[in-house]
Structure 1
Amino acid sequence: MTRHITCISPVDGRVYVDRPTASEAEIRTTLERARAAQKAWRRVPLSERIARVIGFVDVLKGLGPQIAEELAWQMGRPIRYGQGELRGLEERARYMAEVAPAALAPVRPIDDRPGFERYVAREPVGLVFTIAPWNYPYLTTVNSVVPALIAGNAVLLKSAAQTLLVGDRFQQAFAAAGLPEGLFTHIVLGHSQTEAILSGGQVDHVAFTGSVEAGRAMERAAAGTFTTLGLELGGKDPAYVAPDANLTFAIENLVDGAFFNSGQCCCGIERIYVHEQRYDAFVKGFVELTAQYALGDPLDPATTLGPMARTNLADVVRAQTREAIDKGARAHIDPGSFPRDEAGTPYLAPQVLTDVDHTMAVMREESFGPVIGIARVRDEDEAIALMNDSPYGLTASVWTEDVATARRVGERIETGTVYMNRCDYLDPGLAWTGVKDTGYGASLSSLGYGSLTRPKSYHLRLSTGG
């Protein structure tokens, strides 16, 4: 019996996409074709590989209006923001193409030995399996797919059920850009099929973005196969507002960092610690700006906050909010002022909580929705202790006018990225990585090619015979 993967639209609860999973024969054929295509592709000059990938980017950009509407239907992002993800995709793809010649160039020892040629080449690992999430399906997918292809690999993509059409658009754009047949394949798989591919050692590297629990399942499935993994898992990203912060600027950016995409951002702000000297003014401004969001149909250009992707995800946020209030937290936003906020639906108003502490789930467990806890701190040391009081470590931001303060605080925070006066952004020139339960591995920057290639040493002794 064929299993189907279904996307239920958060807009109206109807089935938006329904696809059968691949058969075992289709999976086997896909893997065989990918292996064959990769053997030829790795010998294509780097400049041509880059040109094909950049052609893919240009095709996707031309699909912008269609993609924005599809994203609204699939995961609820307001259509007014839909094409922004493609701008980020282009930024990352072009950067990875730009650094590829240097990142993939042979590394030569610093000592020169006459009579020898010695270097370390970077060879493609072979077949890369990208398992993408739904929250930023284009951005997270491009992080591995583009550099993997540039490096000479074949790619198998499994899109999340909530955003199945994203894989179709990648397939469409790569075909239009002239990528060899079989080199990139979007395949619809169930969990058991995914695990079978990993446990069978049928791919060489897995790039996974998702929950901690799912990341552990990836590790279990791949155990003993020596397949390498890159895991970006949960997050609970904090911000510290220092006494000298530009308050207006901090409020504007932190509100956006907390609530953009309905809070469903890998590096979105989930908790804020404000120095007591600025606390009252910060909370006042933060609440006033949050109240200006318009919750509604994401296909309406006036909507600035769409539904969450699924009702069960919204229910997690509702439960965390209730628990915090029951423990003494103060809620500053009246859900009644957002008429579209309805229990039992993915439509959820933003919420700002104060009088919070770390006994509350909202300050320690991933929310991944439109709720934020704001805590008062006495000094920098207390802020750092609270920021580190988390099983996660993806990003952290420091809001200050003093670079020395940002560096000093950043050195003590257990995180993958430190921002000063910025949040919820990936710089493609820097490694995207995490610590603790957030996972391991790195994508983007020249370091992002490390997991997509393997070193191969050449020690060539020149003949001295006559």
Structure 2
Amino acid sequence: MSTTAVFQTISPINNQVWLERPYASDKQIAVALEQATKAQQLWCKLPLNERIAYCQQAMDYCLSQQQAIGRDICWQMGRPLLQAEREVTVMVERASYMLEVAESALAPAQLHAKAGFNNRLVREPLGLVMVIAPWNYPLLTAINSIIPALVAGNGVILKHSSQTPRCAEWLAEAFKQAQLPEGVFQYLHLDHQTTGELLIANEINHVVLTGSVSAGKQVEQQLAGHFKTLGLELGGKDAAYIRPDADLKASVASIIDGAFYNSGQSCCGIERLYIHQDVYNQCLPMIIDAVKQYRLGHPEHQQTTLGPMVRASAASQVQAQIQQAIEQGAEAQLDSQLFINEVFGQPPLRINTANSAYLAPQVLTGVNHQMDVMMEETFGPLLPVMKVSDDQQAITLINDSDYGLTAAIYSQDNETTRNIGNQLAVGTVFLNRCDYLDPALAWTGVKASGKGYCLSAWGYETVTRPKSYHFKEQA
């Protein structure tokens, strides 16, 4: 099944090996499944308030280790240090909300009284949940499913990206410090083949994947005929639209942050922008000026606001998409030389060059929907901008996508925005903000952006099953 081969995590900061870890062996996997199965059967019988307390203590531990965890995130995937530390805070806030609503979300349904019957509708855990987490937000994406799964009474096995293995180890340490019963939460470092084999193991009842569309298709095909439940959060090509009545200064600031934060490597980051023709000429200079304020460099440097991409090959893919668009008539609005500053690299950084993960941000104009830059996921520090004549054209273009995760509208007309939102084929419609998950709302996508949902009180439905008690009682 698996081997004891070793994998390496290459840091994008210096393109050197940051750590090595062995893949889990066949024996380790077998033991993990056996332990998890036994532990879950006892775990689900604990009172709900005890399960909540264990999870809260684990989150408290993570918060106490915020700086160390942040530094690990920084070196594994390149995000500026202060922003990496912030992920710990947001993870704890998100988990705390899910713990807060757990009791009401998992409470038995209140049924109308029926003479002679005592009928109940309850929610039971699925059993073992396997969470496959990505590198771009290694804590947030994982915790979305881990906390509700555990609180609902499931066991969890986490398979994290080989780019961010320390995040799995930190979470395991947090639950250990919280004295979570042994075996309830475990992680396994796995290669792709072994991951696929583990998905269909009899012990696994539910699978959650955050990743690419191709990975989602592969998992769905592997699970076909195995009667397991599945949640997928996949790709995105999220759009923003600035209407003529928008607060332009606030809109541009929000969109630029949504497009370039985390070097554009965000599931719901803004990857295409439509601007109404009446304000296009006002907005474009503001956009260019805002992007010029970024400071690209070593992510541990305090002045750095834009770190490297996750790996050199990812940067090369974005550069290829930019070059292809330019060859098709698009115009680059920024000179990459603006971002080459030795102050932010020790030694001086190589930017926009082969075998370097450091990529200068870019804004493209003159784009259209015949270009990949407007249709295919970029996942990098790039924003293509397109002029539209009216709301209807914006709606048509936003929906002209294989993806449907989020869309952001910038306007001061609430009623018109609701009407626009009703016509958009996305999981979340934002007004005057973007690139944010409110844990009180269900996080979901349509089309190639995935299936299922997490977060909110509804998120507990995906890690439980309904069970009915139809009791005709004797008088």
TM-score computed with the length of structure 2 as normaliser? 0.96
Q: Equivalent pairs: percent with the same residue?
A: 47
One-letter amino acid matched to 2:95: A
Q: Provide the residue aligned with 2:346 in structure 1.
A: none
Task: Give 1:140 deviation, angstroms.
Answer: 0.3
Q: Equivalents in 2 of 1:373, 1:201: separation in Å?
A: 46
- For 1:3 and 1:333, the matched residues in 2 are separated by 44
Conservation of the 8 A alpha-carbon contact between 1:199 and 1:223: no
From 331, 352, 361, give the equivalent of 1:342.
352
Tell me the equivalent position of 2:277. 276
Whole-angstrom distance in 2 between the partners of 1:115 and 1:409: 50
> CA shift at 1:199, angstroms?
2.6
1:446 corresponds to? 457
Counterpart of 1:443 in structure 2: which amino acid? C
Find the counterpart in structure 2 of residue 292 from structure 1. Answer: 293
Which residue pairs with 1:368 in the alignment? 379
Aligned partner of residue 117 in structure 1, secondary structure:
coil
Check the 8 A contact 1:131/1:159 in 2, yes or no.
yes
Instruction: Name the aligned partner's letter for residue 158 of structure 1.
Output: K
Farther off after superposition, 201-210 or 157-166: 201-210
What SS is found at the alignment partner of 1:30?
helix
Contact kept? 2:241, 2:274, Cα under 8 Å: yes
- Give the SS at the match of 1:162: coil
Is contact 1:200–1:225 with CA below 8 Å preserved after alignment? no
Question: Is 1:95 aligned to residue 97 of structure 2?
Answer: yes
Q: Could you tell me which residue of structure 1 aligns to residue 10 of structure 2? A: 8
The yes-or-no answer on 1:353 pairing with 2:364 is yes
Give the distance between the partners of 2:461 and 2:162, measured in 1 at CA.
29
**Matched residue, 1:32:** 34
Structure 2 partner of 1:386: 397
- Does 2:248 align with 1:217? no
For structure 2, list consecutive stretches of 5 or more residues without a partner in the other structure.
Answer: 341-348
- What are the equivalent positions in structure 2 for 1:13-412 lying under 5 Å apart? 13-109=15-111, 111-339=112-340, 340=349, 341-344=351-354, 345-412=356-423
Q: Give the deviation of 1:64 after TM superposition.
A: 0.6
Aligned CA RMSD, in angstroms, stands at: 0.9
1-side partners of 2:425 and 2:317: how far apart?
26
Alignment check: 8 A CA contact 1:154 1:184 kept: yes
Instruction: Write out per-residue CA displacement over residues 14-73 of structure 1, whole angstroms, 9 at most, x where no aligned residue.
Output: 111211111111101100100100000001000010011010110000111111111111
Cα distance in structure 2, aligned partners of 1:400 and 1:438: 25
Task: Give the partner amino acid of 1:407.
Answer: R
- Report the CA distance between 1:91 and its aligned residue: 1.6
Tell me if 1:463 matches 2:464. no
Q: CA deviation at 1:92?
A: 1.2
For structure 1, the residue ranges without an aligned partner over 5 or more in a row are none
Q: 1:436 aligns with which of 437, 443, 447?
A: 447
Measured in 1, the distance between the counterparts of 2:403 and 2:203 equals 30
Q: Which runs of 4+ in 1 moved over 2 A?
A: 199-202
Question: Per-residue deviation at 1:2?
Answer: 2.4
SS class of match (1:298):
coil
Offset of residue 134 of structure 1: 0.2
Say whether the 8 Å CA contact 1:108–1:118 is kept in structure 2.
no
Query: How many angstroms does 1:112 deviate by?
Result: 1.4
Give the whole-Å Cα distance in 2 for the aligned partners of 1:342 and 1:372: 16
Structure 1 residue 5, shift from structure 2 partner? 2.3
Counterpart residue identity of residue 311, structure 2? R
CA contact (8 A) 1:96 1:444 kept: yes
Tell me how far apart the structure 1 counterparts of residues 153 and 4 of structure 2 sit (CA, whole Å). 34
Residue type of the alignment partner of 1:427: D
1:202 and 1:237 mapped to 2: Cα distance?
A: 36
> 5-14 or 391-400, which moves further after superposition?
5-14
Taking the aligned partners of 1:379 and 1:98, their CA distance within structure 2 comes to 43
Question: After the TM superposition, which of the residue ranges 329-338 and 258-267 deviates more from structure 2?
Answer: 329-338
Give TM-score, length-normalised by structure 1. Answer: 0.98
